[in-house]
């Protein structure tokens, strides 16, 4: 992205600051103190602000839901934590009850100590709510009064919103959009999965940018938080500037003008500097994630060294209560979250890392040939504190600690399904997915042991024959006066059918079958993201067959109802034939 010097140069020229939809909606998601600071700064430059009509329409379509979701978030923070703690306490009490049956020594003392710790945690939650009450209330008031909508209305009243796109022009853009997306020409081709004209929203915005630049003969600063590659040139997932194709397209219409892209955090940090806000805490919080990424690049060796030192202290066999031998390890980490504080001129970053360690599990065969067939997944958490002086480029690593979050022995069947997640997802996510896969496999095995597939197939064939008979019996009379008579007969048949089927509703064997299907379906939903995996596809196919079969036989429940049903339909068919003869 452009430097602050380039930004200041553009600000001294004729220019427009164009805001994208994601920037406007982001103001709802940020803490109120940050959003208020951003809005305050934008108001000081409002004569230079322009909102494309497409952006304005998208904002009006989405702001109610976004604002509502954020209000719920602030109102339920402590409640969700307290509910989670209560669930933990109930689980512990249940386990303690099981252990007590085996007369474990000091089990009551253990329960008392755990309950005391839970009380301590609840006190931490309560104290947090009290100490942050004003901050939480500020966020709720900001959203209740909708300061973002107030700012947008101000821009609208001042005439800073683009004109509605004429229908004929919109049709031309839609036609062009299809050609562009088919050939991966930016912007917006990453939205091709959207339905209708919504998929071309980015293209409408881009056409508006080119047109307004020409109309006003002005340079453009486009503030956009959509960092997909159909807008940006990127280096290692870091957005640099608009794509070269877009710059060339802009120059074709506006050869003497310039267009540059900035993310909201970078734009606000530059604007805060211009408005003499210094390195405000709001600006620091907005740019914290990007800032810390570049800072941690300087400490990559120290991070891996600390991970290695911690791994030496881990005894895998004790952790898993198994005799295992591990081989090669794949270690990778990512930033989980970051917060920033400022004390006078000193900036302090607090960073949490998601650290992943995937180790091959080695088995020794009789021919002494080791081979890796399973994995040990170890999820770690890293805690880092970094400080630096304001405006300085030199930072200092204050603390770096590592602790264990979770560990799992992933069996071969589960690993064959989740292995594609390696390097893309954290070990925390891989462990959760593996547990769900194992649960599904157990349910499938139990399901297979419960269902007699040959009997199920025979039942389905009978079921199909009965309905085919019904269809054939009513077909000749659907367009004549005999239908009234048939209705009477059908009512009688329905009553008889109900009487025949009603006793089946409490069938215990079927209830157990339905219960197993429900358990299977719940577990299956939990690993929906893994469905693209080849090994999983076969599992899903089997599950789908079982579920479809269950749904089909639910009304009949595979017992003595079929003879009664067949008898009723045969009688009905004879009546229908007699009615036809009379006609």
Residues 513-540 pLDDT 10s: 445 545 445 544 544 444 444 444 544 5
More confident site: 398 or 470? 398
How far is it, in rounded angstroms, from Cα 86 to Cα 279? 42
Mean pLDDT, the chain, rounded, equals 79
Q: What percent of the chain has pLDDT over 90?
A: 30
Question: pLDDT digits over 337-351, tens only?
Answer: 898 887 777 889 999
Indicate the pLDDT class of residue 480, thresholds 50, 70 and 90: low
Contact between residue 370 and residue 363 where contact means Cβ atoms under 8 Å apart: yes
Residue with tokens 């089990």: 107
Q: Which segments of 451-560 does DSSP mark as H helices, in order?
A: 453-474, 483-501, 508-526, 534-553
Determine which helix (DSSP H) or strand (DSSP E) holds 127, and give its type and residue range. Answer: helix 107-131
The CATH architecture assigned to 4-67+146-274 reads 3-Layer(aba) Sandwich (3.40)
Out of 120-124, 254-258, 370-374, 393-397, which region has the weakest mean confidence (pLDDT)?
370-374
Q: CA 413, 422, 329: angle at the middle one, nearest 5? A: 90
348 or 424, which is more confident? Answer: 348
C-alpha 378/C-alpha 456 separation (Å) is 44
- Which residue did the predictor score with more confidence, 517 or 404? 404
Q: What pLDDT is stored for residue 541 in this prediction?
A: 53
> 3-class SS at 349?
strand
Answer for the pair 379, 431: CB distance below 8 angstroms, yes or no.
yes
Percent of the residues in the chain that have a pLDDT greater than 70, as a whole number: 77
3-state secondary structure of 260: strand
Task: Give pLDDT, residue 253.
Answer: 93
Q: According to the model, what pLDDT value does residue 530 have?
A: 47
Rounded Cα distance, 387 and 346, in Å:
7
Task: Please tell me whether residue 408 adopts helix, strand or coil conformation.
Answer: strand
Phi-psi region of 46 (alpha: psi -120 to 50; beta: other; left: phi over 0): alpha
For the cut 90, the answer to whether the pLDDT of residue 580 exceeds it is no
Q: What is the pLDDT of residue 52?
A: 95
* Weakest-pLDDT range from 43-57, 59-73, 530-544: 530-544
Average pLDDT on 235-261 reads 88
Beta bridge pairs of residue 528: none
Higher-pLDDT residue of 208, 556: 208
- Tracing tokens 């040959």 back to the chain, one arrives at 454
pLDDT for 222 equals 95
Structure tokens at 403: 């602790």
End-to-end C-alpha distance for the chain, whole angstroms = 85
Distance CA 178, CA 199 (A): 10
- Strand residue runs (E) in 110-210: none
CA 117 to chain centre: 33
More confident residue, 351 or 469: 351
Residue with tokens 């917006």: 188
Residue 32 has pLDDT above 70, yes or no: yes
Q: Which two tokens stand for residue 152?
A: 């947008």
The domain limits of the chain are 4-67+146-274, 77-139, 310-410, 447-582
Interval 57-86 mean pLDDT: 87
Q: Which residues pair with 515 in a beta bridge?
A: none
d(CA 411, CA 148): 51
Q: Do residues 43 and 17 touch, judged by C-beta distance below 8 A?
A: no
Ranking 64-73, 274-283, 355-364 by mean pLDDT, the lowest is: 274-283
Mean pLDDT, rounded, for 125-136:
83
Alpha-helical regions (H) of 18-76: 21-29, 32-43, 53-75
**Whether 261 contacts 241, CB under 8 Å:** yes
Confidence of residue 400 (pLDDT cuts 50, 70, 90): very high
Other C-beta atoms closer than 10 Å to the C-beta of 379 total 20
Q: Which band of pLDDT confidence, cut at 50, 70 and 90, is reported for residue 189?
A: confident
DSSP 63-90: HHHHHHHHHHHHHTHHHHHHHHHHHHHH
pLDDT at 323 over 80: no
What are the phi and psi torsion angles at 319 (to 5°)? -65, -40
Read off the pTM.
Answer: 0.57
Contact (CB, 8 A) for 288 and 341? no
Question: Could you tell me which residues come within 8 angstroms of residue 106 by beta carbon, excluding any fewer than 6 positions away?
Answer: none
pLDDT by residue (tens digit) across 366-395? 444 444 467 889 999 999 999 988 767 788
Question: What is the pLDDT, as a whole number, of residue 579?
Answer: 44
Q: Is the pLDDT of residue 179 over 50?
A: yes
Confirm if 224 and 81 have CB atoms less than 8 A apart: no
For residue 166, give Cα distances in angstroms to 51, 55, 69, 173.
17, 16, 34, 11
pLDDT at 547: 55
pLDDT value at 554 more than 60: no
Q: Give the up-direction half-sphere exposure of residue 275: CA atoms within 13 A in the CB hemisphere.
A: 17
Instruction: Classify residue 333 by its DSSP letter.
Output: E
The larger pLDDT score, comparing residue 507 to residue 299, is at: 299
């Amino acid at each position: 992205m452009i430097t602050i010097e380039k930004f200041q140069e553009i600000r001294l020229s004729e220019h427009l600051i164009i805001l994208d939809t994601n920037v406007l909606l982001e103001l709802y998601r940020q803490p109120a103190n940050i959003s208020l600071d951003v809005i305050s700064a934008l108001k000081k430059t409002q004569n230079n602000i322009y909102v494309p009509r497409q952006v304005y329409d998208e904002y009006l379509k989405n702001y109610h839901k976004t604002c509502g979701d954020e209000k719920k978030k602030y109102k339920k923070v402590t409640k969700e934590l307290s509910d989670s703690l209560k669930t933990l306490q109930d689980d512990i009490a249940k386990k303690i009850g099981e252990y007590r049956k085996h007369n474990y020594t000091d089990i009551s003392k253990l329960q008392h100590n755990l309950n005391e710790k839970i009380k301590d945690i609840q006190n931490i939650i309560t104290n947090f709510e009290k100490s942050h009450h004003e901050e939480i209330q500020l966020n709720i008031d900001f959203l209740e009064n909708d300061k973002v909508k107030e700012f947008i209305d101000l821009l609208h009243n001042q005439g800073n919103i683009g004109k509605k796109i004429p229908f004929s022009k919109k049709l031309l853009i839609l036609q062009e959009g299809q050609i562009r997306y088919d050939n991966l020409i930016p912007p917006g081709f990453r939205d091709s999965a959207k339905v209708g004209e919504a998929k071309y929203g980015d293209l409408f915005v881009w056409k508006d940018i080119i047109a307004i630049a020409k109309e006003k003969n002005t340079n453009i600063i486009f503030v956009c938080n959509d960092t997909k590659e159909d807008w940006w040139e990127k280096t290692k997932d870091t957005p640099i500037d608009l794509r070269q194709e877009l710059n060339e397209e802009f120059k074709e219409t506006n050869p003497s003008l310039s267009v540059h892209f900035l993310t909201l955090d970078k734009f606000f940090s530059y604007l805060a500097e211009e408005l003499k806000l210094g390195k405000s805490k709001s600006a620091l919080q907005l740019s914290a994630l990007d800032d810390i990424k570049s800072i941690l690049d300087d400490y990559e060796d120290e991070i891996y060294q600390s991970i290695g030192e911690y791994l030496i202290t881990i005894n895998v066999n004790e952790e898993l209560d198994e005799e295992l031998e591990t081989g090669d390890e794949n270690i990778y980490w990512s930033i989980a979250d970051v917060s920033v504080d400022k004390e006078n001129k000193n900036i302090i970053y607090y960073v949490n890392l998601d650290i992943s360690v995937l180790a091959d599990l080695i088995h020794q065969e009789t021919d002494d040939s080791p081979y890796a067939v399973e994995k040990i997944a170890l999820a770690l958490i890293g805690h880092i504190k970094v400080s630096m002086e304001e405006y300085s480029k030199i930072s200092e690593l204050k603390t770096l600690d590592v602790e264990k979050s979770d560990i799992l022995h992933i069996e071969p069947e589960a690993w064959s399904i989740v292995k594609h997640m390696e390097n893309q997802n954290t070990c925390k996510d891989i462990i959760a997915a593996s547990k769900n896969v194992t649960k599904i496999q157990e349910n499938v095995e139990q399901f297979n042991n419960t269902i007699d597939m040959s009997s199920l197939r025979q039942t389905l064939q009978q079921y199909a024959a009965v309905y085919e008979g019904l269809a054939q019996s009513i077909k000749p009379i659907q367009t004549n006066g005999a239908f009234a008579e048939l209705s009477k007969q059908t009512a009688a048949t329905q009553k008889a059918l109900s009487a025949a089927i009603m006793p089946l509703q409490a069938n215990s064997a079927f209830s157990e079958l339905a219960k197993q299907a429900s358990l299977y379906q719940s577990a299956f939903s939990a690993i929906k993201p893994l469905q693209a995996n080849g090994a999983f596809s076969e599992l899903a196919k089997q599950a789908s067959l079982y579920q479809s079969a269950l749904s089909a036989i639910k009304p009949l429940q595979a017992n003595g109802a079929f003879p009664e049903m067949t008898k009723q339909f045969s009688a009905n068919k004879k009546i229908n034939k007699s009615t036809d003869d009379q006609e």
